[in-house]
Amino acid sequence: MKRSYFSGPYALWMVLFTICPMIFVLYYAFTNGDGGFSVQSILECLEPTTIRVFLRSVKLAFICTVICLILGYPAAQILASKDFSKYKLLFVLFILPMWMNFLLRTYATMSLLERRGIINTILERFGFEPLTLIGTEGAVVFGMVYNYLPFMILPIHTALKKMDTRVIEAAQDLGANPLRVFTRVIFPLSIPGVISGITMVFMPAVTTFAISRLLGSGNFMLLGDMIETQFLEMHDWSFGSALSMFMMVIIVLSIGLLNRIDPSKGERSGNW
Amino acid sequence: MKRLFKYLKGTYLGLLLLLLYSPIAVMIVLSFNQSKSRANFSWGGLKWYYELFYESPEIIEALKLTLTVAILATIISIVLGTLGAIGIHACKKGYATMLMNLSYLPMTMPDIVTGVSLMLMFVFVNTYVYFPRGFVTMLIAHITFDTPYVLFSVMPKLKQMNPNAYEAALDLGCRPMKAIVKVILPEISPGIVTGGLLAFTMSLDDFVISFFTSESNNLSMLVYAAAKRGVEPTIYALSTLIFIAILILLIIINKRSDLESIS
């Protein structure tokens, strides 16, 4: 028996449970309720209401990614630095939340932000007016940042740790000031990690529906919410499928875009 | 000056940790609260823990389902993924590239699309033969998103291996099956362990795909439903227990090996 036959069961499984289901999505996207060919659902994706939802999803995911990058990059750098890399447990503390169920984490943020939650209780104790925190875009972004920050820190940390420190020393010896060392040497060398971090934060953020549903109190829809609603509440599978295809296109486009920036094509600094 | 910088850096890390852990800390504190209120705290002992174990059968059911699916999906995806990797490694280049690209697909696809597409297929099958969305469909879905992680963890180990070792075993009269068990498996076992751990955590953590492919609740689905209803301190108690379990597990793993290799 040839060794290559071992890939048989795997190939069969993947075709059966990833390719076949995609064909169903395609089928529903291009048919109407009676099963006849129709592009109506596809056209519905281009209507102003849908476009608004789409833009809001991208906006929130983008803000979340930027905040994660701004907060996460220095953290990754400090954790990888000589002073702190000896405390291995410290690094563990930063990625530990990744292992905690993400709904439990979101549930935890709810208890902070709610109308009668911890933040408002503290504010009232000190005589301030309670704030409306939950149900706002800010709350959703906070929830996303809180959930996805470790996913930004981890790959950047890995990239920085792998960096040849002699290159940095060489730049210093040749008279570059710290800012220049960072902009010309450290940052460019860490770009694969940054890209991997951006992917790991932006992708789940742009497709989420649980976070926006729980922290946005259903006040506004994101693309993920819209897909979920079409399938489980409106039972409009055709429009839901069209939206799913739409989302796939966004993901493929953004991955393509990110890969173009990535100088080390193919050999990505791994997520694990 | 240098010392000052070090303190500043430490403070920054401390603030971030505060951000990451304050919701969890609040939850742990509230799990010992007497009342459901979040505004007042009065010590209530293990009240909610008692309720969790003795009066919340649906939480225990969900916990059982989550663990069963995670364990089974991990075992099956280890077998499928390892065999797949060995097979692909021995394949001709074109076919191998095609299979690798096929494996990237579920990893890049948004969870919600994976979930929805599987749901459509399961519902379709259910109109012809009895195939309800429940344990089996959830297991199939989990195996589907777990297996590529095993494959991608095993693949690099196969590439690092000396390709002549397997041939040598055959030349020395070993049967192919035995050669795989005796020569290839020991070499790739670290990859299998890494992949298995990844698959297990992915499966434990999954919400979106399970949400669409199953009607029986796993833990995440249960928490989602509870969160929509409002405050439920039993969930706080559950979170506290899970948090402590993960903390202990990670400290043990960290003691044993370099954590970065599995993260």
The pLDDT value given to residue A62: 93
- Lowest pLDDT segment from A169-178, B36-45, B159-168: B36-45
Cβ separation A116–B39 shorter than 8 A: yes
Residue in B closest to A22 by C-alpha: B117
Cβ separation B144–A210 shorter than 8 A: no
Cβ separation B224–A209 shorter than 8 A: no
CATH superfamily, domain A38-261, is MetI-like (1.10.3720.10)
Shortest Cα–Cα distance, B128 to chain A (Å): 15
The pLDDT value given to residue B246: 78
- Residue A232 CA to residue A235 CA, distance in Å, equals 6
**Domains along the sequence of chain B with CATH:** 73-216 (1.10.3720.10)
Residue in B closest to A217 by C-alpha: B228
- Residue A137 CA to residue A142 CA, distance in Å, equals 9
Interface size between A and B, measured as CB pairs under 8 A: 248
A contacts of B113 (beta carbons < 8 Å): 25, 207, 244, 247-248
Mean pLDDT in residue range B217-244: 83
Residue type at position B201: T
Looking at residue A86, what DSSP letter applies?
T
CA dist B251 to A70, A88, A91, A137, B16, Å?
Answer: 28, 10, 11, 36, 20
Instruction: Say yes or no to pLDDT of A251 above 90.
Output: no
Residue ranges of domains in chain A:
38-261
Helix (H, G, I), strand (E, B) or coil at A31: strand
pLDDT category of residue A270 using cuts at 50, 70 and 90: very low
The interface residues of chain A toward chain B in range 213-242, judged by CB-CB distance below 8 A, are 213-214, 224, 227-228, 231, 237, 240-241
The pLDDT value given to residue A66: 95
> Tokens 């954590």 sit at which residue?
B259
- Lowest pLDDT segment from A176-185, B34-43, B105-114: B34-43
- Lowest pLDDT segment from A3-17, A110-124, A224-238, B147-161: A110-124
ipTM exceeding 0.85, yes/no: no
**Helical spans, DSSP H, in chain A:** 7-14, 20-29, 40-44, 48-80, 82-85, 88-99, 102-113, 118-125, 137-162, 165-173, 178-181, 187-207, 210-215, 223-232, 237-261
Shortest Cα–Cα distance, B80 to chain A (Å): 5
B contacts of A98 (beta carbons < 8 Å): 263
Instruction: Say yes or no to pLDDT of A265 above 60.
Output: no
A14, A97, A107 ranked by CB distance to B227: nearest = A107
A101, A247, A272 ranked by CB distance to B198: nearest = A272
Residue type at position A228: E
Shortest Cα–Cα distance, B18 to chain A (Å): 11
Q: Which residues in A27-63 are b (16+ Cβ under 10 Å) and which e?
A: ebbbbeeeeeeeeebbebbeeeebeebbebbbebbeb
Helix (H, G, I), strand (E, B) or coil at B89: helix
A60-97: pLDDT as tens digits:
999 999 999 999 999 998 888 877 777 777 888 887 87
Cβ separation A214–B153 shorter than 8 A: no
The closest alpha carbon to A194, from A59, A43, A47, A65, belongs to A65
Mean pLDDT estimate for chain B: 83
B contacts of A224 (beta carbons < 8 Å): 112
Mean pLDDT in residue range A34-54: 81
Give the list of residues 6+ apart from residue B142 with CB closer than 8 angstroms, or none.
Answer: B69, B70, B73, B77, B203, B206, B209, B210
B contacts of A193 (beta carbons < 8 Å): none
Q: Which residues pair with A37 in a beta bridge?
A: A31
The interface residues of chain A toward chain B in range 184-213, judged by CB-CB distance below 8 A, are 203-204, 206-207, 209-210, 213
The pLDDT value given to residue B262: 45
A contacts of B38 (beta carbons < 8 Å): 111, 114, 116-118, 121
Give the list of residues 6+ apart from residue B36 with CB closer than 8 angstroms, or none.
Answer: B231, B232, B233
Instruction: Say yes or no to pLDDT of B198 above 90.
Output: no
> Tokens 């690099």 sit at which residue?
B156
Shortest Cα–Cα distance, B209 to chain A (Å): 11
B7-35: pLDDT as tens digits:
888 889 899 888 888 888 888 888 888 77
The pLDDT value given to residue A272: 32
Residue type at position B153: S
- Write down the number of H helices and E strands in chain B: 12, 0
What percentage of chain A reaches a pLDDT higher than 90? 10
Environment class of residue A168 by beta-carbon count within 10 Å: exposed (0-12), middle (13-18) or buried (19+)? middle
B152-166: pLDDT as tens digits:
888 888 888 887 888
- Lowest pLDDT segment from A71-80, A141-150, B34-43: B34-43
